[in-house]
Amino acid sequence: MITGASSGIGEALARELVAEGYRVALLARRLEQIADLADELGNAALAIRTDVTDRESIVAAAARVQHELGGADVLVNNAGVMLTAPFGSEKRSEHRQMVETNLLGAMTVTEVFLDQLRAKNGDLVNISSVAGRVAPAGFAAYSATSGGSTAGRRRFASSSSPTSA
């Protein structure tokens, strides 16, 4: 199961996994792109329009993954946005969008799919940026979301969860 599968790392990962014989659920807001990708990848791919900032959308995706694929055994939290602007600028809505997508989105997707991962002793993969450790000018909010994602993954991995991160 890959969030943010419509382009970039998510799309490339989906292609690689299918080439290695895996079935993948492609989750993204842009249904046309993931539907085209799923058509190209064939029966090994399932396109599900999902917005990681909308819990109901994630719950519906989890139900489809359970029904059509028998559940998720790997979750790749890859969905993210990078909008650069000086902190304190008039870009507050863009900063909020990054937090809701990059950090809270990954947390919500993980929470919703956690039972499926536990049932299969599954794995959790969070994709984040080196910007979580180094914050170039104009990247304060983006860096905060990357750092938060990395810290959350570390805590999750060290908790009593039966999944690995």
Number of neighbouring beta carbons within 10 Å of residue 106: 27
Catalytic residue among 25, 34, 141, 142: 142
Direct distance between the N- and C-terminal alpha carbons of the chain, in angstroms, rounded to an integer: 14
Residue 22 among the catalytic residues:
no
How far, in Å, are 39, 111, 144, 163 from residue 105 at the CA level? Answer: 26, 10, 14, 19
Cα separation, 34 vs 115, in Å, equals 25
Token pair listed for 35: 């539907």
Residues annotated as part of the active site: 142
